[in-house]
Structure 1
Amino acid sequence: MDYVLPLSDIALDDVPEVGMKAAVLGDLRRGGFRVPDGFAVTTAALHDALGAAEPGTAVTELPFPAGLPEQVAAALEKLGDVPVAVRSSGVSEDLAGRSFAGMYESYLNVFGAADVLAAVRDCWASGSSERITRYHQDFTDHPARVAVLVQVMVPATAAGVAFSVNPVTGQRDEISVSAVTGLGDRLMSGEATADEWTVRSGAVTRISGDGTVLDASDVLRVADVVAQVAEHAGGPQDMEWAIADGEINVLQARPITGLSAAEQIPVDDEVPEGFWVQAPNANAPSVPMQQSVFLPVFDASISNIFRYTTGGRAAARMINGRVYLSTLVDSPDEQVRGLEQAGARVAAGEPLAVIRRWNNELKGSFGDRIRAFRSTDLRSLDDDGFDRYFRDLVAMFAELHDVYFTLACAGIVAMGELGLAGQELLGFGPDQTFAMVGGPDGDHVPATTGLSDLARIAAANPELRTRLADGTVDEARLAEVDGEFADAFARYVSAYGHRTIGFDITEPTLAEYPGTLLNLVTAQLDRPDEVAKRKQDLAAAREAVLAKARARLAGQADRERFERALGQAEEGSALRDEKVFYAVSAWALFRYATQEIGRRLHAAGLVDRDDDGFYVGLDEGLAALHESTDLREAVRLGRGRHNWALANPGPKFHGQYGMPPSIEGITLSAAAQHVRALSSWSMTLQAPPAAAKDGEGLAGLAASAGRYTGPVRVINGIGEFGKLRDGDVLVCKETTAQWSILFVMVGALVTDQGSLLSHPAIIAREYGVPAVVATGTATTELHDGQLVTVDGSSGRVIPVTT
C-alpha cells in the first residue's frame, strides 16, 4: 500500500488522507504559491500501525506498517537528502472554527530516514495527546486522525505570521504582520519578541519592536502574499511564512478563528448651523491626536484663504470624525467691509510683499526650525523635555499653517492678476495663462531631480544597475555594491524623505519607505535625464507663448500691466508646492512625535500598543505620562469612534446652502471691484465637469493639454508608489507636492478631485503631462492595466477597446 503522497499531487479533496495542513499547502503549491517541496505520510499509516499492534502498545513504540520505511527513504532521496521539517497534519486541524493551533507537534532540521521515521512516531503520539483529545471531542465523537507532513527546510533569514485581517480589532482593511529573524518557531514558542506591523491601503505602520527584522518593502511583500492566499481561500487567513534567498515561502495557512468585528462606537456630533462641506482633501477621518492638534490650527487660519479676495470668513469643525468647512454668511455691510479691506491690502501690494517675505525670509526660517526639531533625539528626552518638545512643535506647526493659507491666497491673487491681464488684453483663457508661467521650480523640486541624479549614478555602475533591476539589492546592502551611491541615497532620504504624503499623521513618511524610493530610482535607470529634458521642452513652449502674447500687446500701458502681472505670477509660481513641502515636513514631525508618545505610554504600561498614541488627544496623552493615568479605555473609545467614521463616510454636505445677500447696487471702490474681479476669475477654475455621455468614459476638468494612451495604474498611497511603471496613466484621488517624484514616469494623470488651480493640475502642466482632474470616480471606475486615452484638452478619459 502507498503510505506516502508527494506534496505536488495533493489537493484539498485529500484531507481525509493527508490532513488539513498538508492538503492546504498542496492546494497552494498547485495554485502557484511558493511552498517548500515535500510529501505526506497518510492517515492510513497510523491506522494500519494501530491495527497491527498489540493492545496497550504505546504510540511511540508502534511498529511501522510494511513498506512505510522504504517509501519514506525513497521520498527523502527525491528531495535530495536534505534537512526537513516533520509536522503533524490533523484531519480536523485548521478547519474554520477549530484551529488546533499549537497543539500538534513539529520537528525541525531532521536529517536521514531513521530520524524522520522517529519524528513521524512522535507526531502520531501528539495526535493522541490528552489536550488534543479533549479539544477534539468538543466537535466530534471520533478519535483524531493524524497524517504527517515532511517538507524541505528553508534557510530562513526572517519568518513569522501574517493575518489577512487584523485579528485584534477585526478590521477587514488592515493586515497584520509579525516577524522575527531566523526561523518562525522562535515566535510561535514565545522565545523571541517580534516586530509587529500593520498594513492598510499600502501604508505600513510598525506598532512594536525595533524594526530591524524587515523593511517596509518586505512587509508589503508579505502582506501581498497573505492577501492573495486569503483571496485564493475565499476568506480571512492566518499564514506562517519565511523569507529565504529573498523569496517568501508559505509554510502554513489556515482560517482565522475567533475573529470578531472591529468595535465601532457611533459618533453623533451636533451639526453646527449653516452650510458645511466635507474638506476636499480629507479622504479619511481624523484620529483623535490629529483632531486635538490640527483642528484648532485649521479653524484659526482657514479664513486667511480669503484675505486678498472677498475678505470673507471661514470655519472648520469636526463632524462625526471628519473635517467640514463652512464659509460664514455675511450681511451686505459685512461683505462690503470685507471686500474693501481686501481691496486695500491688494492695492497696498501686500500679496506680493507676503510672497517676497516667504521667498527671502520665512521659508529659510521654517526650514531651520524644522531641521532643528528633526535633529532632536526624542528617546533621549525625559517626559518633561518631551512635553516641551511636542508643545513647541505644535506652536511652530500653527505658525506655519497661518502663513500657509495666507500664501495660498497671495498665490491666487498673483495668478489672477495675470489671468485678468491675459483675458482683458489678449483674450487668453486659463490654459494660455498657465502656459506663460515657468515650469518646475522651488525648494521642493530637488526631491524629484535628486532621484534622477541617483539614477544617473546607478546607471554608471553595471553591477548596481543589474542588481537594482532584478531586485537583488535593497537599501541595507547598497554599500556592499556601491559606496558612493549608498552615501548619496542616504543623503537624499535625510534631506527629502521626512515628509508625509498627505495631511494625515497615520500615513507613513517617505523615509519609512526607503525601498519605495529605491524602486523609483530603478524606474529611471534608462532615462535619468528625463526631468531636465522636460524642463527644457516646457521652457521652449513657454517662450513661444510669451513671444506671441508680447507681439499682440498694443501700447506701453498694456505692456507694463502685462509684464508687472507676469513678474508677480513668476515670483509666486513655486508657492503652491513649496509651502506644501514645508508643511508636510512639519506633519512628519507631528507623526514622529505621536509615535513617540505612543511608545512611551506603551512602555509605561498605560496602553497596549505603540500606535495607541494616535487614538488619544495631545493634552490627554502628555498628562498621562506625568500622572501615570491608564488610557486603555480612552484608546478603546478613540479607536471605536475612528472605526465607525471609517465605515460611515458621512454626507458631502450638512445643512442647506443659502446664497449670501446681494450687494448689487452698492457702490464699491475701484480696489474692491478689482479684488471682486480676481475672485470671479479664480472661481471659473473651479467649475464642475460636465457629465460623461454613455459609452464615452469619464469626464472631468481639462487640466493640462495633450492626448495620451496608456495603461492605468491606480495609486492610493505611498505604499503603492512602487507599482508605477514608466508610461503609466496615474489614477489617484488627489496629489500633493510629495507625489511630484512620480511625474518623471507618468504618461498622463487622472484624479477624482481637483480644479485648475489644484496641485495635480499645476504639477501636470509643469511636467507637460496630459491631465484630467475632478472626475469624481476615476479611482473606482478604472482598474490597473486597463488601456485608456486621456484627453487633457477636452477633459475626457476614454477606455480603449483592443
Structure 2
Amino acid sequence: AAPADRLELDPTTGVPVKTEIVSKDAMVVSLAEGSTSTVDVQEWKRLQPALGDRSLVRLSELGRQLESLFGGPQDIEFAVAEDGLHLLQSRPITTLEDVEPVESTDWDGWVDPKHTWFLTNSSAFQGPVFRLQLDAVKRYVEGQRQCFEQTGAMMARSHVMSIVNDYVYTRPPEIDADEVTARVNRHVARCQSFIDQGTSNYNEEIAPEVEAELVKLRSLRAAGGSVPARFAYLEASIEASGHIMRHLHWCMSGMTNRLDWPSAFHEITGEPIEDNDAFLHAVPNMTTRLVSQLRDLAKTVQSDPALAAAFARDQYEVLDSPAHKERPAVQRFNGQFSKLIREFGFRTGWGFGSNVDFEGTTWRMEPRKPLQLIAAYAEQDIGEMEGIEKQALRRRQQATRRIRRKLASDPERLERFETARRRAHSDLQRMENHNYLMEQSTVGQMRDAMHEMGVALVKAGMLDQPVDALHVSLEELGQVINEGETPDLRSLVVERSERRTRLAAVTPPATLGKPIERSDDTPAREADVDNGTILRGASASRGSASGPARLVQDAASAPRLHKGDVLVAGNVGPDWTPFFPLLSAVVLDEGEIFQHPAIVAREYRIPAVFKTRTATKRIREGQTITVNGDDGTVELDG
C-alpha cells in the first residue's frame, strides 16, 4: 500500500488531535490526454500534509452533515480539487463501538506497533507543540531525512515522525544496515578529503552556505512590517532553519570532523595528556567576541556612578530617560548596545544542553535579558577578568614556543604537532562559531520572524498579542495573505491555547509502540552510591575553586550572580555560557566534555565537573562547595 497520512479530528472544530505525517516520495498526476502518470514528489513537499487545515475543517463539516443526514457515522471517500472538496461515496460504519475522546489516553493507537517510537524533547520539538511550531518540526524532520540519505549520520536517523496528542514521536526508518554503512563511509571519505587539505567541510561548504542564507533572511526582515512582508520572512526563516539545523548541522557532525586533541598532543609530544588544555586557551571565537562586548558595556556602566547605580537596581529605563540620555556615558552605552544587538540580537540560548523552550525570546524581543547580564558583569572587577584572559593567551604562546623548541630537531614530529594544533583550534572555533551561525542566528531569526508576524497581525487588528501567532499555522496565515480572508484568529487562539494547557498537564509516555528491551544488570555508578560529602563526576575543566552554590533548576531564569559563585545545574548550554566568566566553578548533573559549557569553562580557566548525576539533589542553595576539576570531585561542606 502507498504511504498515507493518518489524522484524527476534533468532530466539532475539525482541528487535528492526532497526526501521523509520512514521507510521500511519489504521486499520481493527470496528463493532458486523460491518462495518469506517477512522478517523484519534490523533496521539500514530501513531509507536507496531504490535506491542509482548510480541507480538514471542510471535511469535518461534511462528516457531521452526512452523519445527521443518514443517522449515524459514515465511512466516506472523497477527492480534493482546486474548486474544493468532492464527496465520492458514503456508507455507514457498522463496526464502530465507543467513540474515542478528543484527547485520547490511547497513546499507542496511532503509531505502527512494530516499531519503538521515542518522545522528542529538544527545544524545537518539545510538546505539546504550537501549530506554527508543528510547521517548523515538519521542515526539521525533512532536513534530517535529507541528511540521513546523504551521510547516514546517527543524529539524523530518527526522522519518521508521528504526532500524538500534540507531542512529537520519532523513529528510525527501516533500512538495510549495509546501506547505512555505505552512506557513512562515503561521508567520512568526503570529510577526510577536506581534512587532508588542512580545512573542513564546515569551513569550505557549510558555513558559507549558512552565511548566504542569513543574508537573505536579513534582507527579508528589512522588507517592511506589513502582514504579507512578514509572512514571506516567516516562510523563508522556517525553511532555512529546518535545512540548516537538521541537514547542514548534522552533515557537519561526526567523529571524522573532530580531532582527539588530548591524545594527539600526548602521542606527538610525549607530554602529560592533562597539559593539552593550555594550547586551546584564548583562541578567538564568537563566544569570546560576545564576552568582550559585554565587558566593554560593563566598563561603560562602571564609568558613570548614576548609570552604575541604576543598573544595580535593574532600572534600565534610565537609558531612555530625558534626564540621563544626554549623558556621555549613556550615549556611549546606547551606541555599544545597538552594536551588540545588531550582531547578537537573535540570540535565544538554544543549543545542546539548554533549557530554552520554543517560545523563548530573543535578545531583540527582550533587551532586558542582555541588560541584566551586563549588570552582572558591571559588579565584577573587569580589569581582573581581562587580566585572566591575557594571562591565558601568554600561557598558550609560551607553551607553544616550548614545544616548538623541544621538537625542533625532529621536523616530522614538529609538523604533525603544528597540523594537530591548527586543527584543534579550528575544531574549537567551529564548535562556538557554528552555534552562533546556526542555533542563535538561524533558529533565533525564525523565532524573530514568528514574533514579527505576530506584531503585524496585532497591528492589523487580528490578534491581541504577538505570541498568539504561534497558535496559527502557515497555511492559515497564507489564507489571510493570499485569499484576503479575515478569519476569527482570536477564537482560534483561545481554543488552541486551552487545548495546549490541558495537554501540557499530561505526562506523555517516553516511548510508544514496541517496548524497549531493558537490562536490569547495569552496574550503579560510583556517583550514584556515594552518600558521603564527596560527589564524583567527569573532569570537564581543570583547576580547583570553592564558593557558594547557586542552584539553577531547569528552565529557570538566570539569577544575579556574584564573584565566586559556583553554578550547580542539571545541564546548561549556550543559554548560560555568557555567564561563565562571572563564576568560580561549574557543577552539572549531566553535560558533555566536548560541548559548549566545557569549552567555555576551559577558555576562562573555570574548574568544572560534569556527570555527577546527583549534584542538584545533594547540594543546597548557598552551601559552600569545593570543585576539583583535576580529579572530577566536588566536596560538600557541612
Fold shared by both chains (TM-score > 0.5): yes
Residue 449 of structure 1: how far off its partner (Å): 0.8
Aligned to 1:99: none
Residue 424 of structure 1: how far off its partner (Å): 4.7
Residue 341 of structure 1: how far off its partner (Å): 1.5
| Rg larger for | 1
Task: Say which SS state the counterpart of residue 451 (structure 1) adopts.
Answer: helix
The amino acid that maps onto 1:485 is F
Residue 289 of structure 1: how far off its partner (Å): 1.7
Aligned to 2:338: 490
Inter-partner Cα distance in structure 2 for 1:535 and 1:359: 30
2:541 to 704, 707, 712: 704
Residue 571 of structure 1: how far off its partner (Å): 2.1
Inter-partner Cα distance in structure 2 for 1:464 and 1:762: 33
Residue 452 of structure 1: how far off its partner (Å): 0.7
2:325 to 467, 475, 479: 479
Q: In the alignment, is the contact (CA less than 8 A) between 1:439 and 1:535 conserved in 2?
A: yes
After superposing the two structures, state which structure 1 stretch, 520-529 or 578-587, moved more.
520-529
Question: For residues 341 and 491 of structure 1, do their structure 2 counterparts lie closer, same or farther at Cα, with a shift above 3 Å needed?
Answer: closer
Is the aligned partner of 1:347 residue 2:192? yes
Q: CA-atom RMSD, angstroms?
A: 4.1
Inter-partner Cα distance in structure 2 for 1:289 and 1:794: 47
Aligned to 1:577: 432
Residue 365 of structure 1: how far off its partner (Å): 2.9
Question: For residues 457 and 278 of structure 1, do their structure 2 counterparts lie closer, same or farther at Cα, with a shift above 3 Å needed?
Answer: same
Is the aligned partner of 1:501 residue 2:349? yes
The amino acid that maps onto 1:573 is L
Residue 457 of structure 1: how far off its partner (Å): 2.2
Q: 1:276-310 CA deviation, whole Å, 9 max, x = no partner?
A: 36456679534332222134224523774897796
Question: For residues 769 and 455 of structure 1, do their structure 2 counterparts lie closer, same or farther at Cα, with a shift above 3 Å needed?
Answer: same
Task: Say which SS state the counterpart of residue 691 (structure 1) adopts.
Answer: helix
Aligned to 2:469: 613
Task: Say which SS state the counterpart of residue 769 (structure 1) adopts.
Answer: coil
TM-score (norm 2): 0.67
Question: For residues 621 and 719 of structure 1, do their structure 2 counterparts lie closer, same or farther at Cα, with a shift above 3 Å needed?
Answer: farther
Inter-partner Cα distance in structure 2 for 1:557 and 1:637: 70
Is the aligned partner of 1:629 residue 2:491? no
Q: 1:228-265 CA deviation, whole Å, 9 max, x = no partner?
A: xxxxxxxxxxxxxxxxxxxxxxxxxxxxxxxxxxx988
Inter-partner Cα distance in structure 2 for 1:350 and 1:799: 45
Residue 509 of structure 1: how far off its partner (Å): 1.7
Inter-partner Cα distance in structure 2 for 1:800 and 1:479: 47
Q: In the alignment, is the contact (CA less than 8 A) between 1:311 and 1:339 conserved in 2?
A: no
1:588 to 405, 419, 444: 444
2:215 to 356, 360, 368: 368
1:647 to 495, 505, 515: 505
Residue 657 of structure 1: how far off its partner (Å): 5.5
Inter-partner Cα distance in structure 1 for 2:187 and 2:598: 27
Task: Say which SS state the counterpart of residue 635 (structure 2) adopts.
Answer: strand
Aligned to 2:621: 784
Q: Percent identity?
A: 22
Q: In the alignment, is the contact (CA less than 8 A) between 1:452 and 1:529 conserved in 2?
A: no
Inter-partner Cα distance in structure 1 for 2:565 and 2:150: 40
Q: 1:533-560 CA deviation, whole Å, 9 max, x = no partner?
A: 2322333443465567664799544443
Q: In the alignment, is the contact (CA less than 8 A) between 2:135 and 2:474 conserved in 1?
A: yes
Is the aligned partner of 1:527 residue 2:381? yes
After superposing the two structures, state which structure 1 stretch, 586-595 or 351-360, moved more.
351-360
Q: In the alignment, is the contact (CA less than 8 A) between 1:444 and 1:578 conserved in 2?
A: yes
Aligned to 2:605: 768
Q: 1:681-712 CA deviation, whole Å, 9 max, x = no partner?
A: xxxxxx98842501236443321112222122
Question: For residues 628 and 529 of structure 1, do their structure 2 counterparts lie closer, same or farther at Cα, with a shift above 3 Å needed?
Answer: same
2:301 to 458, 480, 490: 458
Residue 450 of structure 1: how far off its partner (Å): 0.7
Task: Say which SS state the counterpart of residue 557 (structure 2) adopts.
Answer: helix
Inter-partner Cα distance in structure 2 for 1:429 and 1:587: 41
Aligned to 1:389: 233
Residue 606 of structure 1: how far off its partner (Å): 5.8
Residue 587 of structure 1: how far off its partner (Å): 2.6
Q: In the alignment, is the contact (CA less than 8 A) between 1:731 and 1:749 conserved in 2?
A: yes
Q: 1:448-467 CA deviation, whole Å, 9 max, x = no partner?
A: 11111112223233343344
Inter-partner Cα distance in structure 1 for 2:270 and 2:174: 34
Inter-partner Cα distance in structure 2 for 1:305 and 1:536: 43
Question: For residues 483 and 304 of structure 1, do their structure 2 counterparts lie closer, same or farther at Cα, with a shift above 3 Å needed?
Answer: same
2:107 to 251, 261, 268: 268
Q: How does 1:311-326 map to 2 (within 5 A)?
A: 314-316=157-159, 317=161, 320=164, 321-323=166-168, 326=171
In structure 2, stretches of 5+ residues that fail to align are 1-101, 351-355, 519-523
Inter-partner Cα distance in structure 2 for 1:752 and 1:645: 28
Q: In the alignment, is the contact (CA less than 8 A) between 1:309 and 1:339 conserved in 2?
A: yes
Task: Say which SS state the counterpart of residue 479 (structure 1) adopts.
Answer: coil
Residue 653 of structure 1: how far off its partner (Å): 5.1
| Aligned residue pair count | 508
Question: For residues 460 and 633 of structure 1, do their structure 2 counterparts lie closer, same or farther at Cα, with a shift above 3 Å needed?
Answer: closer
Inter-partner Cα distance in structure 1 for 2:580 and 2:157: 33
1:289 to 129, 132, 135: 132
Inter-partner Cα distance in structure 2 for 1:586 and 1:343: 26
The amino acid that maps onto 1:268 is W
Is the aligned partner of 1:515 residue 2:357? no
Inter-partner Cα distance in structure 2 for 1:734 and 1:787: 20
Inter-partner Cα distance in structure 1 for 2:168 and 2:533: 34
The amino acid that maps onto 2:505 is A
Q: In the alignment, is the contact (CA less than 8 A) between 2:266 and 2:272 conserved in 1?
A: yes
Inter-partner Cα distance in structure 1 for 2:555 and 2:222: 24
Question: For residues 361 and 423 of structure 1, do their structure 2 counterparts lie closer, same or farther at Cα, with a shift above 3 Å needed?
Answer: same
The amino acid that maps onto 1:766 is E
Q: In the alignment, is the contact (CA less than 8 A) between 2:224 and 2:230 conserved in 1?
A: no
Inter-partner Cα distance in structure 2 for 1:324 and 1:648: 15
The amino acid that maps onto 1:696 is T
Q: 1:731-771 CA deviation, whole Å, 9 max, x = no partner?
A: 33433335332122111112343211122111111111111
Question: For residues 348 and 483 of structure 1, do their structure 2 counterparts lie closer, same or farther at Cα, with a shift above 3 Å needed?
Answer: closer
Is the aligned partner of 1:734 residue 2:571? yes
Is the aligned partner of 1:744 residue 2:602? no
Inter-partner Cα distance in structure 2 for 1:569 and 1:450: 25
Inter-partner Cα distance in structure 2 for 1:386 and 1:566: 45
Q: 1:579-604 CA deviation, whole Å, 9 max, x = no partner?
A: 22123223333223323444555666
Q: In the alignment, is the contact (CA less than 8 A) between 2:268 and 2:416 conserved in 1?
A: no
The amino acid that maps onto 1:456 is K
Residue 529 of structure 1: how far off its partner (Å): 3.2
Residue 368 of structure 1: how far off its partner (Å): 3.0
Residue 440 of structure 1: how far off its partner (Å): 4.9
Question: For residues 532 and 367 of structure 1, do their structure 2 counterparts lie closer, same or farther at Cα, with a shift above 3 Å needed?
Answer: farther
Task: Say which SS state the counterpart of residue 720 (structure 1) adopts.
Answer: coil
Q: 1:112-158 CA deviation, whole Å, 9 max, x = no partner?
A: xxxxxxxxxxxxxxxxxxxxxxxxxxxxxxxxxxxxxxxxxxxxxxx
Inter-partner Cα distance in structure 1 for 2:145 and 2:581: 33
Question: For residues 377 and 605 of structure 1, do their structure 2 counterparts lie closer, same or farther at Cα, with a shift above 3 Å needed?
Answer: closer
Q: How does 1:209-228 map to 2 (within 5 A)?
A: none
Inter-partner Cα distance in structure 1 for 2:470 and 2:271: 49
TM-score (norm 1): 0.55
Question: For residues 281 and 588 of structure 1, do their structure 2 counterparts lie closer, same or farther at Cα, with a shift above 3 Å needed?
Answer: closer
Is the aligned partner of 1:437 residue 2:276? no
Q: In the alignment, is the contact (CA less than 8 A) between 1:275 and 1:653 conserved in 2?
A: yes
The amino acid that maps onto 1:629 is P
Q: In the alignment, is the contact (CA less than 8 A) between 2:454 and 2:469 conserved in 1?
A: yes
2:245 to 401, 407, 412: 401
The amino acid that maps onto 2:107 is D
The amino acid that maps onto 2:627 is V
Task: Say which SS state the counterpart of residue 436 (structure 1) adopts.
Answer: helix
Task: Say which SS state the counterpart of residue 286 (structure 2) adopts.
Answer: coil
Aligned to 1:201: none
The amino acid that maps onto 2:234 is F
Inter-partner Cα distance in structure 1 for 2:556 and 2:222: 26
Inter-partner Cα distance in structure 2 for 1:430 and 1:309: 33
Inter-partner Cα distance in structure 1 for 2:177 and 2:467: 49
Question: For residues 601 and 493 of structure 1, do their structure 2 counterparts lie closer, same or farther at Cα, with a shift above 3 Å needed?
Answer: closer
Inter-partner Cα distance in structure 2 for 1:369 and 1:752: 40
Q: In the alignment, is the contact (CA less than 8 A) between 1:577 and 1:737 conserved in 2?
A: no
